[in-house]
């Protein structure tokens, strides 16, 4: 099942919010089993699309319920894309993520 999660995240960007991985999975209608894996796969594809188009990464709006920041795989994908070089946890990662969230919100802010 391939679901376009872009509209979900664009709405979230316009509202200034964040979503958990589980919330994205539910809104996208990813069926069990492995809903979170399906969600992260879709997020990584979206990251590649946004990066290739020179856009801020909508996937930055998706966070772990436990930590309030993206999972380490987000930072691994950033590294693969050449957009981040550092630890996948800690202050540096969080600062980079917060800058990406601000870029997304700025790009999708209603005029």
Please identify every stretch of the chain with a pLDDT value under 50, giving residue numbers as ranges. 1-2
Instruction: Please report how many Cα atoms fall inside a 13 Å half-sphere around the Cα of residue 33, on the Cβ side.
Output: 0
Domain boundaries, the chain: 6-108
Q: How far, in Å, CA of 1 to CA of 38, rounded? A: 9
The token duo for 99 is 């800058």
Q: How far, in Å, CA of 101 to CA of 42, rounded? A: 18
Tens of pLDDT, residues 59-89? 999 999 999 999 999 999 999 999 999 999 9
| H or E element, residue 35 | helix 35-52
User: Terminus-to-terminus CA distance in the chain, angstroms?
Assistant: 35
Residue 12's pLDDT is what?
97
């Amino acid at each position: 099942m391939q679901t376009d999660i872009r509209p979900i995240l664009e709405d979230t960007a316009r509202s200034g919010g964040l979503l958990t991985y589980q919330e994205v999975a539910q809104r996208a209608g990813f069926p069990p089993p492995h809903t979170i894996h399906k969600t992260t796969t879709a997020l990584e594809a979206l990251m590649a699309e946004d990066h290739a188009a020179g856009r801020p990464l909508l996937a930055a709006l998706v966070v772990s319920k436990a930590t309030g920041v993206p999972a380490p795989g987000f930072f691994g994908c950033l590294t693969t894309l050449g957009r981040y070089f550092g630890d996948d946890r800690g202050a540096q990662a969080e600062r980079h993520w917060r800058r990406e969230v601000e870029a997304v919100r700025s790009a999708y802010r209603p005029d």
